[in-house]
Amino acid sequence: MVGTFFTAILFAASAFASPSAGDWLSAESEIAIAHIVKNISPADASPGAVVAAQSRVSPNYYYHWVRDAGLVMDMVVDRYRNSKSPQERYILLGKLEEYLVFSEGLQNVRTIGGLGEPKFNVDGSAYNEPWGRPQNDGPALRALSFIHWAQVLISENHGDFVRQRLYDGKAASRSVIKRDLEFVSHHWRDSSFDLWEEVEGDHFYTRMVQRRALVEGASLALTLGDAGAAAWYTGQAQEIEKDLLHFWDEKRGYITVTRNRLAGVDYKNSLLDTAVILALLHGSLGDNFLRFSDYRVQATLEALQRSFAQIYPINQRAGVPGIAIGRYPEDLYGGSDFENGNPWPLCTLAIAEAYFRVAAEAGRSERAQFWIEQGDAMVSRVKYHAHANGSLSEQMDRHSGFMKSAEDLTWNYASVLSTQAARIKAVQSLRIKKK
């Protein structure tokens, strides 16, 4: 059943001639959810494993990364919440339940990196080869995906299930959210590897998502009567907030990605990185802390585009909208070599999504219209390099623009869905008068 429901969507996809950015994004969202469903619990993996991609060689992404899975399942929760199709909701709920069982297992596996272990074999066993570990954004992102599901469950009167399986409120907790929050609240000061798995130090990305997990976790804890924990999580989140402001570098004129580097890649001299924008997208609480229209965020967005516009030959072609964006200017990772970094769809979409968020902050105004157009240009850029059937690989070759590295990277499709959600919000807020 899963097969037919979603493959029909994948086949119908190529019919679009030259849709606008908005139309392409909506069509692409249907393709995205179909690919996501395909990459959760594939046939030869344990149920609930989310493969980073189906690719098993050059590169081998056939593993469950805690970060990728958290980001992807968060979008599954979102889709589940908003879907009007009982059939789709049934399928997505099944995937969520499997992800829960799989994640419970992972928290109990003995690993080299402890709870911050970044990736697992698809049968749920530990991956014990050398790797950049721990990566402490993982538990925060995993917690966020389950917190969001818990919110939906509570609103649908399934609080008992939440108390039993997701947040039991016990000091020596056996439930996924609480275990991750205990870890995050006691270990956020620890250095770890960054989301790109390359640099050990203190990272803006990691701390932004840790803060959000603690704040939203505190609110869930309070709902469930765990007031002491709620106060502790809130206090730690406030400490993180202070720390996060130190990443703003007045001289360079942007928010830097890492402080106190200890080991790993040593050629990231600019400290300019799209991870900062991803941090805001995945970690923002919609409060007044580093809003998308904040001058520091704006300056970072500009610095990134200026840099990538110069570095990548495909950004010098005339007549192509937007700018193809990569991870960071000094990047060398090509998927299976270290010769040349490339632009990534998920990084390019991150800039689009950030612009849609700026537009939503601006409300009903000409400025908002302007920012939506900026976002659309970035979406059109991804559309330009995407396969005609909507398939997106991890990278786009910096010279030819062709899709490169892991095909159908699952995270790409999560970023399509979050970009689409942000665009819808931005367009809606154009219609609402600001008070």
Q: What whole-number distance in Å separates Cα of residue 131 and Cα of residue 60?
A: 14
Q: How far is the CB of 333 from ligand NOJ (least distance, A)?
A: 4
List 21, 33, 195, 359, residue binding ligand NOJ (CB under 6 A): 195
Which of 52, 91 has the CB closer to ligand NOJ? Answer: 52
List the catalytic residue out of 68, 168, 182, 194. 194
SS3 249: strand
By CB under 6 A, residue 193 contacts ligand NOJ: no
Residue 193: strand pairing partners: 200
Question: How many positions of this chain bind ligand NOJ (CB under 6 A)?
Answer: 12
Per-residue contact string for residues 25-64; x = within reach of ligand NOJ by CB under 6 A: ---------------------------x--------x---
Q: What whole-number distance in Å separates Cα of residue 242 and Cα of residue 232?
A: 16
Q: How far is the CB of 407 from ligand NOJ (least distance, A)?
A: 12
Question: What is the number of other CB atoms lying within 10 angstroms of the CB of residue 384?
Answer: 17
Residues 196-235 that bind ligand NOJ (CB under 6 A): 196-198
Residues 117-146 that bind ligand NOJ (CB under 6 A): 132
By CB under 6 A, residue 68 contacts ligand NOJ: yes
Which of 6, 61 has the CB closer to ligand NOJ? Answer: 61
Which phi and psi (to 5°) does residue 50 adopt? -115, 105
Which of 116, 132 has the CB closer to ligand NOJ? Answer: 132
Which of 178, 203 has the CB closer to ligand NOJ? Answer: 203
**Residue 398 Cα distances to 287, 327, 353, angstroms:** 37, 12, 22
Which of 52, 352 has the CB closer to ligand NOJ? Answer: 52
Q: How far is the CB of 267 from ligand NOJ (least distance, A)?
A: 12
Q: What whole-number distance in Å separates Cα of residue 345 and Cα of residue 322?
A: 12
Across 352-433, where does the E strand assignment appear?
Answer: 395-396, 403-404
By CB under 6 A, residue 413 contacts ligand NOJ: no
- The question of whether 194 is a catalytic residue gets the answer yes
Does residue 130 have a cis bond before it (omega within 30 degrees)? no
Q: How far is the CB of 115 from ligand NOJ (least distance, A)?
A: 17
List the catalytic residue out of 197, 239, 294, 361. 197
Q: Which stretch in 5-13, 78-86, 195-203, 282-290 sits in contact with ligand NOJ by CB under 6 A? A: 195-203
Residues 392-411 that bind ligand NOJ (CB under 6 A): 411
Q: What whole-number distance in Å separates Cα of residue 48 and Cα of residue 312?
A: 38
The radius of gyration of the chain from alpha carbons, rounded to an integer in Å, stands at 20
Query: Smallest Cα–Cα separation from 371: which of 384, 352, 345?
Result: 352
List 333, 355, 371, 413, residue binding ligand NOJ (CB under 6 A): 333
Residue 328: strand pairing partners: none
Per-residue contact string for residues 334-373; x = within reach of ligand NOJ by CB under 6 A: ----------------------------------------
Residues 156-175 that bind ligand NOJ (CB under 6 A): none
Across 207-332, where does the E strand assignment appear?
Answer: 248-249, 254-255, 258-264
Which of 61, 247 has the CB closer to ligand NOJ? Answer: 61
Which phi and psi (to 5°) does residue 143 adopt? -60, -45
- Find where tokens 């516009």 sit: 309
Q: What whole-number distance in Å separates Cα of residue 144 and Cα of residue 122?
A: 22
Q: How far is the CB of 347 from ligand NOJ (least distance, A)?
A: 11
Token pair, residue 245, equals: 């402001």
Helical (H) or strand (E) element with 263: strand 258-264
Helical (H) or strand (E) element with 368: helix 366-385
Q: Which residues are catalytic?
A: 194, 197
Residues contributing to the site for ligand NOJ (CB under 6 A):
52, 61, 65, 67-68, 132, 195-198, 333, 411
